[in-house]
Each structure stands twice: as structure tokens, then as C-alpha cells.
């Protein structure tokens, strides 16, 4: 992760990675960064738009449908 973080576009980086907060990243579960990437993918699939900046993920209430569980 430390060697290849430059490969990930800035719009897809979680804030900890963008700020190079390696202490927090080390304390986080190993799947945390992958989960963030999955969230970015889900956003792009449901909106049909390419994510241009991380701040767009703050308002997802109307773009990602809710599923009701019985």
C-alpha cells in the first residue's frame, strides 16, 4: 500500500490515504480501504457518472436506492 498509493486517483482515495495518515490506516481493518473503493464503484454504477472528487460521496441520499428488508 505504501509503495503504490500513487496509482489510485485522488477521487477514489479515502481521507486517511489522501492525508497520508498511515497510523490510522494501520489501525483500521485490512478491508477498510477496499470497502471505500467498493462504495465509490457503487456510487458510479447507480449515478451513471464518473466520480470527480471525494466530496461528491457526501450526498448519496437520492442517487443510491434503498432496499427494504422483510
**Residue range 53-57: mean pLDDT, rounded:** 74
48: left (phi over 0), alpha (psi -120 to 50) or beta: left
Average pLDDT in the 2-19 region? 75
CA 32 from chain center: how many Å?
9
State pLDDT tens for residues 29-54.
Answer: 888 878 888 888 888 888 888 888 77
Q: Confidence band (pLDDT; 50, 70, 90) for 60?
A: low
What is the reported pTM? 0.64
Predicted pLDDT of residue 1:
59
Amino acid at each position: 500500500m505504501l509503495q503504490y498509493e500513487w496509482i489510485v486517483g485522488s477521487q477514489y482515495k479515502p481521507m486517511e490515504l489522501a492525508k497520508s495518515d498511515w497510523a490510522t490506516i494501520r489501525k483500521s481493518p485490512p478491508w477498510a480501504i477496499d470497502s471505500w473503493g467498493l462504495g465509490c464503484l457503487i456510487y458510479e454504477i447507480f449515478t451513471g457518472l464518473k466520480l470527480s472528487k471525494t466530496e461528491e460521496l457526501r450526498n448519496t441520499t437520492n442517487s443510491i436506492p434503498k432496499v427494504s428488508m422483510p
